[in-house]
Amino acid sequence: MKSFFTAFVAIATIVALPLDARPVAETSALSVRAATGLDKLFKAKGRAFVGTASDQGRFSNAQNSAVTLREFGSVTPENSMKWDATEPNPGQFTLSGADALVNYATTNGILVRAHTLVWHSQLPTWVSSITDKTVLTSAIQNHIATVAGRYAGKVRSWDVVNEMFNEDGSVRSSVFSNLLGTSFVDLSFAAARKADPEALLYINDFNLDSANAKAKGLVNLVNTVNANGVVIDGIGTQTHLGAGGAGGVAAAIKLLASAKNVKEVAITELDIGQAGAADYTAVVNACLAETKCQSITLWGVRDPDSWRASETPLLFDANFADKAAYTAVAKVLA
């Protein structure tokens, strides 16, 4: 994995040199885009990548793929690696969608931010109806060994556990916590580490958009789990914001980055209602202000493909044209 990255960075640097050598400071955001793309701008600041959610139904569209490869350096499977997609029945693995996503990334020399192994949602009923601790433990271990094992060495990071907290910072009721308490976290991360020793292992959640009770609950858990070393490498904040909701993000990212033995934090599913330029500017600046904030992933390319389509929350419109929010992000990164 390391040598892959080194080689990739070296090749990317050589290929990009003539473009990167152009003076960008005085150009418009549009020509900055044309010369570089958001991912290269962010990498030039020493960070890991700017990515987008994708899957076969998206990147098989030529316009989507063109924007993805121009602007982004990573893809996250929007749905194809979730438990319902990958293991709909016990031991029956359906990985064609996940394979397609990983092949797309590999073929095009971009990273994979994989999502997600243990989550109460998009979970098949055969898992949520398990009533025995040992059976559930085996189900988790087998799921993670098979899915994370298949892509070992090909993904940069995994969301191992997703959305395990309530808004007050307590642990959400789920088949996982109800049967196993928080030990499901330890056993899930141990299984993921075993399956893919090179991947950075993340815990991910939503509404971590200020230094609120939920963010504090998550940090407390990470402090406990990481008390004796690095079990959880990174904390992901989904950052699905409403209009005007970016004010607390900088404080939230600082708080998350303070968790014990955490190497990275990431903005993992960014979209903002109405896609205000000021809101996007605030989020990107919040990430830049914390050196552990290594990646920003947009939750899709163009508005009509968003899970929040009616709120037009992304950087590109229905015609894949960049919006004011795009220009704002490019300006902050340029």
Cβ neighbours for 16, distance < 8 A, ≥ 6 positions apart: 36, 40
Decide whether 42 or 206 has the Cβ nearer to ligand XIL.
206
| CB closest to ligand XIL, residue no | 307
- To the query of whether residue 269 is one of the catalytic residues in this protein, the response is yes
Number of helices followed by number of strands (H, E) in the chain: 15, 9
Decide whether 57 or 90 has the Cβ nearer to ligand XIL.
57
Applying CB under 6 A, among 238, 294, 295, 297 the residue interacting with ligand XIL is 238
Q: How remote is the C-alpha of 295 from its chain's centroid?
A: 8
Catalytic residue from among 71, 87, 163, 264: 163
Decide whether 150 or 308 has the Cβ nearer to ligand XIL.
308
Cβ neighbours for 165, distance < 8 A, ≥ 6 positions apart: 171, 172, 205, 214, 217, 218, 221
Query: DSSP letter string over 76-139?
Result: EESSTTSHHHH-SBTTB---HHHHHHHHHHHHHT-EEEEEEEEESSS--HHHHT---HHHHHHH
Considering only residues 61 through 80, tell me which ones interact with ligand XIL, judged by CB under 6 A.
78-79
Q: Is 55 in the site for ligand XIL (CB under 6 A)?
A: no
Q: Is 93 in the site for ligand XIL (CB under 6 A)?
A: no
Give the Å distances, CA to CA, from 69 to 199, 225, 229, 324. Answer: 22, 37, 37, 20
- In the complex, the smallest distance separating the C-beta of residue 269 from ligand XIL, rounded to whole angstroms, is 6
- Per the structure block, which two tokens stand in for 68? 């993805």
Contact 56, 80 (CB under 8 A): yes
**CB-side neighbour CA atoms (13 Å) of 163:** 17
Cβ neighbours for 323, distance < 8 A, ≥ 6 positions apart: 275, 314, 315, 316, 317
- To the query of whether residue 163 is one of the catalytic residues in this protein, the response is yes
Applying CB under 6 A, among 162, 188, 239, 297 the residue interacting with ligand XIL is 162
Decide whether 71 or 78 has the Cβ nearer to ligand XIL.
78
Q: Is 307 in the site for ligand XIL (CB under 6 A)?
A: yes
Contact 219, 178 (CB under 8 A): no
Binding mask 171-210 for ligand XIL (x = CB under 6 A): -----------------------------------x----
- In the complex, the smallest distance separating the C-beta of residue 296 from ligand XIL, rounded to whole angstroms, is 16
Binding mask 240-269 for ligand XIL (x = CB under 6 A): -----------------------------x
Decide whether 57 or 169 has the Cβ nearer to ligand XIL.
57
How many whole angstroms separate alpha carbon 159 and alpha carbon 222? Answer: 14
- In the complex, the smallest distance separating the C-beta of residue 192 from ligand XIL, rounded to whole angstroms, is 16
Contact 144, 155 (CB under 8 A): no
Decide whether 69 or 123 has the Cβ nearer to ligand XIL.
123
| Active centre residues (catalytic) | 163, 269
Residues binding ligand XIL (CB under 6 A): 78-79, 162, 206, 238, 269, 307
